[in-house]
Amino acid sequence: MPVAAGLYTFTTGVSAFFEMPTSDARRILPEHLEPVEVTHQRSILAVTAFHFTESIAGPYIELMFSVIVPPVPGRWRQRQHPKAGFYPFLAATSSDESRCHRSEGFSIPHIAEDIDAQFVESAGTLHVSVWSRSGPVVDLTVTQHKWESTTHLLHTFMVDGNRRLKSNLQISGRYTVHENERGHMTLHHHPMTTALTLAEISPYPFREHWLKDGVEIFHPLETL
């Protein structure tokens, strides 16, 4: 049975939030989106990496950089209130097929070259290294807190020319999150990081999410 277009089964996923300059965030975001500021003049860079084992494009690895933005207010009583909003401004994957699928199907900008990655888990710590032929992109370490099963509803915003788009994103799986600032990230100079003022991005994630054995569901794009 073929896998539906918006379904992605993963073994391991990580999403870490870092403070970034609001000036960078505003430069990256389209006009209709505002960055969420964690403190004055400090917005939020989300670095996510997933090891997908099943998707319409086959198994692949994905690295995505997003700016956190406000979600569209939801209907609470229908349990449709999103936890957060993302504007994925640049992604990279480990295969042509996945790159075409994600960039054409969901209007997420991608760099043209393949990436590869290592997900190394040991003693409550996950270390993720991502690289491409241009060199290393990111080394990211997150730590665990308490594991639970969860489903999150998020809003993902994209643009296609003048079209303002949104996709509801459901992520289900085993999940741990904390704000103990125990993780670390090194962002390298790389074609993926040129939009970022690297010296101004905190190397410490103020929130660390780690997911296992779950599913991402990207719902069909809606025009805002």
- Quote the CA–CA distance of 163 and 173 in Å, as a whole number: 32
- Quote the CA–CA distance of 196 and 190 in Å, as a whole number: 10
- Quote the CA–CA distance of 139 and 196 in Å, as a whole number: 16
- Quote the CA–CA distance of 123 and 49 in Å, as a whole number: 20
Kindly tell me which residue out of 100, 112, 151, 160 binds other proteins, with binding defined by CB under 8 A.
151
Kindly tell me which residue out of 56, 165, 201, 217 binds other proteins, with binding defined by CB under 8 A.
217
Judged by beta carbon, residue 11 or residue 172, the one nearer other proteins is: 172
The reply on whether position 31 binds other proteins by CB under 8 A is no
The reply on whether position 204 binds other proteins by CB under 8 A is yes
Query: How many degrees, rounded to 5, is the angle at CA 138 between CA 134 and CA 140?
Result: 160
- Quote the CA–CA distance of 86 and 72 in Å, as a whole number: 11
* Residue span 76-115 as binding mask against other proteins, x where in contact by CB under 8 A, dash where not: xxxxxx-x-x------------------------------
User: Which positions lie near other proteins, rule CB under 8 A?
Assistant: 4, 6-7, 9, 33-34, 36, 39-42, 69-81, 83, 85, 124, 143-147, 149, 151-153, 168, 170, 172-174, 177-182, 204, 206-207, 212-215, 217, 219, 224
